[in-house]
Amino acid sequence: MSENLHELSEDELAKLIGSAQKTLRDRQLGKRKEVVAEIRQLAASIGCTAELTDISTGNATGSIRRGSKVPVKYRNPENPMHQWTGRGVQPNWLRELIGQGRSLDEFRVA
């Protein structure tokens, strides 16, 4: 097949690539729909419902909360890439340092 590709013009290659990408997206969407249907069927078999993301867009169903980013409240002075907003589960790096006897306040960003 690679020999045939070398014979195609740039326009023909672009059309082929576009067609291949569309075919791939369609197949992936079809598989996602099959899996979602199976999940819903399994959930229904045990008397539950399954809230799943929208297959076509990947967005969560229902309303999506959109707002500003939460500022960083804690940062590891030894590795500034390690940071935490103070929301959600405490990250492992912070949990380990606190476990070593250090205080949460040591890592607070001014």
Cα 107 from chain centroid (whole Å): 28
Nearby residues of 108 by Cβ (< 8 Å), 6 or more positions away: 73, 74
More confident residue, 68 or 102: 102
Phi, psi for residue 81 in degrees, rounded to 5: -70, -25
Q: Is the pTM of this model over 0.85?
A: no
pLDDT tens across 20-57, in order?
A: 999 999 999 999 999 988 998 998 899 888 777 665 45
pLDDT tens for each residue of 58-75: 555 555 667 788 999 999
